[in-house]
Chain A
């Protein structure tokens, strides 16, 4: 998007007042969304996100700015404005820039742009119609294709130039069921760092039937009881519990300032010995994967907790300075409008030794939260909440009635000491994660697992 020569001039302007590191991040992203709402195609949207972010670091200080003006004049103006924050002499000089080569792990077979809009709409309509035809009580159906093509370039004062193209697609189905006095929804949203081949590989009708079926069954579900109880959390999106409750507090943005309950605890037991947790940004074509992070650092498979012992954090370059540790390739951002910070990629609890049936059979009276919905956490205290999208009561080791409106609440550092039985059915699921550097694609994941005790909120009174 800019030449090496322009990059050198801008970086030197940024470093003129004594900054010890400077970086230019350039982005051009083409996004297209198509939505079919109850059988009707809505006008597809398209947009171009285009701009540059410049960052200057000086020890533990950082300054950041962005602009849509990618001319030499526009970028030098921004660099000069930012460098006014420092008042020293230039100590780092950029003379030449070399391109850093790396292997692309995320091959695209069918580029999204090569597929006609009509073909995309036909697939959405198949999903939409399957949901609507499932049951007369399905009153609204939504099928969406979210597609984007992100081109990034990074130039930094270490004389390095990185370039990557990232294509992502997500296929979302939602059904709303209604009967007098009750509204319920079903949802699925598989996605990948891939082209249209990922969507072609989905069994759209099967996914659609499952979404509609859940919405219908929830109509007659009773309110979830409340109280403290053992809870079995289902595989796949159930991993959002680890993402929210432990993943965020393991990010360097919280750890570097000592604000996380996990700060200073490397080598210590922080979880039940059944728990091994990994953040892996290298999984080919996974939704949360990238070849390099948004600072140009190669992504890694990072073991965070092994057999209950804390091994590592998620670290970006800037927070790594405070921690005196190297980046783990976790510096991510939504777009050029955000300064990078430490973020997750594909984060999951590793498979354990048990069969999922045995995990459920081990609970006398409790809850089986098969599918979790969204949640949030305070990274300093670790207090979290999650909504269960599909949950059943377990009685004498058997899955019994479906219940609705269940919320799981607790504290992250506490809950991972209570994950005491982990099954062998690891699965990952896709989501968008929002934090200081914006909303980014991530995978969450886990096998079916048991939490010995957790507070469940619901309107159904005491569990009996």
Chain B
């Protein structure tokens, strides 16, 4: 690897990290304001213009709070828990192609040919954070919450993997660049990636990926992990101060990664008809494509928040039933149908 390549990777890393870490507080304030709006309230609107500095105040509060480690907790694992929740999704951004290429530079930190497998493996590490956090707390409620959360994550990872496989089948590659380029040329994954016959597969796959990613992130219709009603807060009962904030923000980072992934796999990545031109590699066109990507991600995030404040929670057996009895067979059938369609259409 030459020095210029390394320099480019460093620049892209800084840009992506800056985007991610400015999105997380923005997401928190968006979530709280929208929650207020949906419930007929204003939400936090005192700190800064329209309450935009509220996350900053939250962070200051979290830092100044007493950081308690329970007496009989395993200190090392107790510290490792939040970090393992926070870091893996942040690493996952490395393979997201967030824009059309500028010159000969692809807007993607690491151009891995096994991109999606990397993201899948990184996402499953997130389960360890939750499990370790709950286990190390030495608290029955935390342990039960962690068990629940990890069971939920593992069962929905199946659906997640199978729907991602759908996108891989459409593009015939696990490289995110190829997947996006395929969608740019043939049509978005949500409409079947080119063949009209595959339209139902695309729509179903997108819907299942969307719902499964909500379950993966412990978002509200599936927030068994938190279960404040029956498990006193679940796996992060014993966490306070900045460690709790790590859990909290890790959830949002994972949500952002999920939205990026959905956009990359099914919603055409940085491409939007008549706005981005895939053959134009100038700086302006590149920036426009980044804007389109971010707009798509933001729309998805808005829908995530919107759903959270609309729906009540599932019961735990309903959640597992939905995961194993509905989504798993459906996604398998979906893949089989797409395979058959591919054989007959593409030959």
Does A pair with B?
no
Residues of A within 8 A of B (CB): none
By a beta-carbon cutoff of 8 Å, the part of chain B in contact with chain A is none
